[in-house]
Amino acid sequence: MVTPIASRYPKTYAHWQRDPEGFWREAAEAITWFEKPKTVFDAKAGVYGRWFPDGVMNTCYNAVDRHAEGGRGDQVAFAYDSPVTRTKRNITYKELQREVSAFGAILRDFGIEKGDRVVIYMPMIPEALVAMLACARIGAVHSVVFGGFAPKELATRLNDAKPKLLLTASCGIEVQRVIAYKPLIDAAIEMAESKPEAVILFQRPQAQAEMKKGWDWDWATLREEALKANKTSECVPVKATDPLYILYTSGTTGIPKGVVRDNGGHAVALKWSMENMYGIKEGEVWWTSSDIGWVVGHSYIVYAPLFHGCTSVVFEGKPVGTPDAGAFWRVASEHGAVCLFTAPTAFRAIKKEDPEGKFVKNYDLSKFRALFLAGERADPDTIKWAENILKVPVIDHWWQTETGWTIVGNPAGLGLLPVKHGSPTVPMPGYDVQIVDDGGKPVANGTMGNIVVKLPLPPACLPTLWQQDGKFKDAYLAEFPGYYKTADAGYKDDDGYLYIMGRTDDIINVAGHRLSTGGMEEVLASHSDIAECAVIGVADQLKGELPVGFVVLKAGVNKPHDTIEKELVALVREKIGPVAAFKTAMVVARLPKTRSGKIVRGTMKKIADRQPWNMPATIDDPVTLDEISVALKSKGMAG
Ligand code: COA
Ligand code: AMP
């Protein structure tokens, strides 16, 4: 039995349980409102209720102006550190205010008004963060698309968000290559039914993009002119319930889901999390190594650290190869970061190159207090390794794009609870997390089931999907009435600790990136030689999971199998993007199915993962599973 003696967690969680509205009313005091909310929660509004419905505020004001004008003007807001370009640049809160205000004015000149959408397809450079904050400043809704996605994925998002403007840069920089963005942008716009009215492009010296006159606008020129003319923009008052951004995330089909984040609840919950979940004091140096294309980047590179008046390190590099496996320690030590937040896969990559953690010894990490991991299951081996080399608490926490902040974690600020490897610990205030069977009945402790959260979800969680209340209800609320379905499976132990074991849908997690195998299947099925297919996520030591595709050819196709397999790998890269990390396709004579025709992907995965498996009682032909084994072995995989 674990007894959390010193932690204030039990008291805090009990406070929330007793008086949820009082709890969030108090938390809301920590942000600046133009009009303080009189109502904390309106259960009748929206799909399941809305937070702070009559509150008026501005996210950018809380992130930037409040600090620029409130004594932090000369403190660094963003510390940009880019080993891939050998550049470093510090931007103070005062400078950030000037940049964001000017860029807001530029957006205004392009006709962007409150509620208009702006898509941002950019690498990890300060301009991208300025653009996000400028949108927030004028009440526009940004939608950031990760640079590793292909034009088709960008086009799908353009069609859904219908932005007036697209913001981009001439290139992204990976360890070994420069990726020109302009051809990708042009292809996406060509494909999209809903085209933006203009493109603003930031030219980087590593690749110059050719500009189309009257359509593409040069970022640096616009900025220079705006600053010279002293152009500024005001922080527009928005309702707490107005959307701040849309972030697309993989669903069960090739069509991603547009997760909506509102302004007020987001600021309240994220501000609360910095002190209580992460144990960060205002003004400290905080570092999240992720990308602004993901929710972790939105919440903990851009918004939360700024709400808290911190310095946020913006890292354009990788844990290995930029230039070596000591990059994380170099950055943490040079900037004096007190914490690092990243995905476990980054640590597996470092461990692989520097198993003894020799690089750590070269750096002064005396200020470094804790490592936070999220985005995928943190395997106990990696946690132990990190604890051992860093000698600080390593804290796993579980959340999703949909929630925007921790569902289950170990609250450093309230006092850490004893760590149990393999568990992200306990629910944060706001979340009543339960484990239920497929019929919605609670299961006993220790029993695996569906992880659900009792409605209402706390502030910052998605109120709906972009202009799709129906889809939101169907995808998340319909299966377990009164609860939000996380689509994760797991169990609770007798101390109330949660264990998150994997998804209940066809989402896989590749290097901390969330991807849909259904989406990949749609791409494989579009190949003219393919009759049917199945994609599964196979366990991988570095990336957690890797997608593997099995395809059945149409009758009469007699092309060599390896030619088709290569075409399929190229097709997924072309249609979804390199981020899918789809490198293995194999032709099989048929797919293993139940008698009712359902492909037994779960059993196929167990075979590929060398896990014990039982013959499904309803299997149509047991030999088909042997054939999967043989196919895997022919590719040097398990089976
Ligand atoms: N733009 C274009 N391409 C990109 C990209 C971007 N922003 N990000 C990744 N890619 C490409 C990579 O170059 C790679 O291409 P390749 O197939 O030609 O090698 C491919 O997409 C897969 O990328 P990734 O899965 O990141 O693999 P990697 O081998 O480049 O790096 C890790 C592996 C573990 C070092 C890396 O994934 C990492 O640092 N992960 C940290 C996790 C993280 O930030 N998660 C975000 C949520 S917290
Ligand atoms: P994303 O929306 O990209 O953040 O991915 C969310 C999914 O990643 C969750 O539904 C989980 O499946 C997985 N995930 C995130 N964090 C954790 C964690 N700490 N432990 C286990 N799985 C996690």
Q: Where are the beta strands (DSSP E) in 364-448?
A: 370-373, 394-396, 408-409, 426-427, 433-436
Cβ-Cβ contacts under 8 Å for 611 (sequence gap 6 or more):
605
Q: Which ligand is nearest to the CA of 296?
A: 1
Per the prediction, the chain carries an average pLDDT of 96
Least confident range from 304-308, 409-413, 514-518: namely 514-518
Q: Where are the beta strands (DSSP E) in 5-163?
A: 41-42, 50-51, 56-57, 76-82, 87-92, 117-121, 141-144
317 lines ligand 1 (CB under 6 A): no
Q: What is the pLDDT of residue 5?
A: 57
Cβ burial of 11 (10 Å; 0-12, 13-18, 19+) is: exposed
Cβ-Cβ contacts under 8 Å for 224 (sequence gap 6 or more):
none
The tokens describing 346, both together, are: 């980054």
Name the helix (H) or strand (E) containing 586: strand 584-587
Q: Which ligand is nearest to the CA of 410?
A: 2
Residue to mutate (ligand 2; options 342, 488, 499, 506; most atoms within 8 A of CB): 488
The tokens describing 483, both together, are: 């609860």
Q: How far is CA 272 from the centre of its chain?
A: 20
In ligand 1, the atom with minimum distance to the C-alpha of 146 is 7
Q: Which ligand is nearest to the CA of 406?
A: 2
Q: Is the pLDDT of residue 639 over 70?
A: no
**Each residue of 169-187: pLDDT tens digit?**
999 999 989 999 999 999 9
Q: Is the pLDDT of residue 430 over 80?
A: yes
Distance 577 CA to ligand 1 centre (A): 11
| Tokens 């996000």 sit on residue | 132
Mean pLDDT is highest, among 33-47, 253-267, 496-510, for 33-47
**Each residue of 136-179: pLDDT tens digit?**
999 999 999 999 999 999 999 999 999 999 999 999 999 989 99
Atom 46 in ligand 1: residue holding the nearest Cα: 290
Q: Is the pLDDT of residue 254 over 80?
A: no
* SS percent in the chain: helix, strand, coil, step 5: 30, 25, 45
Length of the chain: 639
Cβ-Cβ contacts under 8 Å for 474 (sequence gap 6 or more):
none
Which value, to the nearest 10 degrees, does the dihedral of the CA atoms of residues 292, 258, 375, 445 take?
160
Atom 9 in ligand 2: residue holding the nearest Cα: 400
Atom 13 in ligand 1: residue holding the nearest Cα: 174
Mean pLDDT of 478-503: 96
Which value, to the nearest 10 degrees, does the dihedral of the CA atoms of residues 314, 316, 320, 323 take?
-110
Atom 4 in ligand 1: residue holding the nearest Cα: 148
578 lines ligand 1 (CB under 6 A): yes
Atom 3 in ligand 2: residue holding the nearest Cα: 514
Query: What are the residue ranges spanned by the domains of the chain?
Result: 511-634
Cβ-Cβ contacts under 8 Å for 341 (sequence gap 6 or more):
278, 286, 287, 288, 289, 290, 296, 300, 371, 372, 373, 374
Atom 6 in ligand 2: residue holding the nearest Cα: 400
564 lines ligand 1 (CB under 6 A): no
CA distance 304 to 297: 10
CA distance 192 to 187: 9
Q: pTM for this structure?
A: 0.95
In ligand 2, the atom with minimum distance to the C-alpha of 294 is 3
pLDDT band at 33 (very low <50, low <70, confident <90, very high): very high
pLDDT band at 1 (very low <50, low <70, confident <90, very high): very low
CA distance 3 to 577: 47
Q: Please state whether the peptide bond connecting residue 163 to the residue before it is cis, i.e. omega within 30 degrees of 0.
A: no
Q: Which ligand is nearest to the CA of 378?
A: 2
Longest Cα–Cα distance of the chain, Å, equals 74
In ligand 1, the atom with minimum distance to the C-alpha of 583 is 17
Residue to mutate (ligand 2; options 146, 247, 347, 399; most atoms within 8 A of CB): 399
511 lines ligand 1 (CB under 6 A): yes
CATH number of the structural domain 511-634 = 3.30.300.30
Instruction: Indicate the residue type of 57.
Output: M
Least confident range from 76-90, 349-363, 613-627: namely 613-627
Distance 71 CA to ligand 1 centre (A): 38
Q: Are 175 and 325 in contact (CB under 8 A)?
A: no
Q: Which ligand is nearest to the CA of 345?
A: 1
Distance 514 CA to ligand 2 centre (A): 8
**Each residue of 108-129: pLDDT tens digit?**
999 999 999 999 999 999 999 9
Q: Which ligand is nearest to the CA of 546?
A: 1
Distance 406 CA to ligand 2 centre (A): 10
Distance 55 CA to ligand 1 centre (A): 40
Q: Are 386 and 394 in contact (CB under 8 A)?
A: yes
Q: Which ligand is nearest to the CA of 453?
A: 2
Q: Report the candidate in 259, 255, 297 with the shortest Cα–Cα distance to residue 513.
A: 297
Q: What percent of the chain has pLDDT over 70?
A: 99
**Each residue of 294-303: pLDDT tens digit?**
999 999 999 9
Distance 396 CA to ligand 2 centre (A): 11
318 lines ligand 1 (CB under 6 A): yes
Q: Where are the beta strands (DSSP E) in 83-128?
A: 87-92, 117-121
Atom 47 in ligand 1: residue holding the nearest Cα: 512
Residues with CB under 6 A from ligand 2: 249, 295, 374-378, 396-401, 424, 488, 500, 503, 509, 514
Q: What is the pLDDT of residue 139?
A: 98
Helices 344-353 and 380-390: angle between axes, nearest 10 degrees: 70
**Each residue of 566-618: pLDDT tens digit?**
999 999 999 999 999 999 999 999 999 999 888 999 999 999 999 999 898 89
